Amino acid sequence: MRGEYRPFASRADCRPAAPDGVARQAVHSIRLVPGFDNYGVMGNPVAHSKSPQIHAAFARQTGEPVAYQAIYVELDRFPAALDEFQRLGGKGLNITLPFKEAAWKSARVTSGRADRAHAVNTLWFDKHGKRHGDTTDGIGLIRDLTVNQDIQLSGKDVLVLGAGGAVRGILDPLFDQEPARVVIANRTISRAIELARLFLDRGELVACDYEALRGQRFHTVINGTSASLQGAVPPLPDDLLLPGACCYDMMYADTDTVFVTWARAHHADKALDGIGMLVEQAAESFHIWRGVRPETRPVIAMLRNS
């Protein structure tokens, strides 16, 4: 199992996809597809990304003339790769690990939610060449939870596991849902406290370690740790879930993640992985770029069946 998990935030690959979604050989230089508006995802590693497949599906569905490729970027080459993509006439980019903060710094105009997250996963260029940046990860999670899964967050106690970049990116849109309280639990409590300080103005927010979860029960638990990468689940109390609870893993894998398995074993009403979030954040990027909102359900179904 180890190594199979794909953190939501590090999806990407080195298989540039043609407009029809057919993977070509890995290349390290950028070549745009003539006759199309070109987009892509830059990352390192950029293997196993589903983004080219997702955006090819969106393009087919909407009839938008979009070509989307995965671009492997050497760790010290991100600014140069950005410049090159833009110079060649590329229209916009998704940015994945480890470049999200660098992308945020590179953008001249950024959204409030990107500034909070210190991350940009969606870049586009206006007619003057000015770079705009936004982050769609958090809204992707919230749309999957609230629209696709019909989970109500408003007035609820929500537990978020982890205090890294992935969690930082979801807190703003999470508070937009007006939960009663958000608890951030992390192995290293100082990181949870540090993160909580940045969002205290948004609502009721508590930072704690896993030990402090004893005796507390939640309606929604979101796993934003990278523990699944090690095949681990944070040490959670057995009676953590309220009846009807929803557990959501921001990661996904070909089989159930260990957190999804934990949730099922603890009788969660819903035990979900991050595939829906992945497609929803992509749809949000597509909407920013094209002004068209694609249907996400058939694309989520396609990925689950592939």
| Sign of the alpha-carbon dihedral angle for 255, 248, 209, 236 | negative
Among residues 202, 236, 203, 231, the alpha carbon closest in space to that of 217 is found at: 236
Q: Which stretch binds ligand ATR (CB under 6 A): 37-45, 128-136, 159-167, 267-275?
A: 159-167
Q: Which of 50, 100, 105, 127 is catalytic?
A: 100
**CB of 225: closest distance to ligand ATR in angstroms?**
3
Which C-beta is closer to ligand ATR: that of 162 or that of 294?
A: 162
The answer to whether 187 contacts ligand ATR (rule: CB under 6 A) is yes
- What burial class does residue 126 get, using C-beta atoms within 10 Å of its C-beta: 0-12 exposed, 13-18 middle, 19+ buried? exposed
Considering only 232, 264, 267, 298, the residue that binds ligand ATR (CB under 6 A) is 232
Which C-beta is closer to ligand ATR: that of 22 or that of 232?
A: 232
100 annotated active-site? yes
The residue whose Cβ lies closest to ligand ATR is 164
Considering only 121, 122, 186, 285, the residue that binds ligand ATR (CB under 6 A) is 186
Cβ proximity of 12 and 43 under 8 Å = yes
Burial per residue of 161-175, b for 16 or more beta-carbon CB atoms within 10 angstroms, e otherwise: bbbbbbbbbbbbbbb
Kind and range of the H or E run holding 247: strand 241-249
Which C-beta is closer to ligand ATR: that of 16 or that of 165?
A: 165
Residue 236 φ then ψ, to 5° = -105, 145
Site residues for ligand ATR per CB under 6 A: 7, 9, 162-166, 186-188, 191, 225-227, 230, 232, 234
Catalytically active residues are 100
